[in-house]
Amino acid sequence: MDIKIENTSPNIKYNNSNYILNTKTIINNNVIKSILIVEDDPDRMSWFIENLKDNYIVTHTDNAKTAKYLLKHKKYDMMFLDHDLGGEQMASIADENTGSRVADEIYALDIKVPVILHSHNPIGVKYMLNKLDHAKALPFGTFTIETIWE
Q: Which pTM value belongs to this model?
A: 0.76
pLDDT digits 0-9 by tens, 16-33? 333 223 334 444 455 568
Average pLDDT, the chain: 76
What confidence category does residue 4 fall into, taking pLDDT thresholds of 50, 70 and 90?
A: very low
What are the domain boundaries of the chain?
2-148
Domain formed by 2-148, architecture: 3-Layer(aba) Sandwich (3.40)
pLDDT digits 0-9 by tens, 89-140? 776 667 778 888 999 999 999 999 889 898 888 888 899 999 999 888 887 8
Please give the DSSP secondary-structure letter assigned to residue 102.
H
Contact 78, 33 (CB under 8 A): no
E-strand spans in 25-112?
25-27, 30-32, 34-38, 57-61, 78-81
E-strand spans in the chain?
2-4, 6-7, 18-20, 25-27, 30-32, 34-38, 57-61, 78-81, 115-117, 135-137
pLDDT digits 0-9 by tens, 36-93? 999 988 888 888 888 887 778 888 889 999 999 999 999 998 899 988 887 777 766 6
- CB neighbour list of residue 33: distance below 8 Å, 6 or more residues apart: 21, 24, 56, 57, 77
pLDDT at 3 (0 to 100): 32
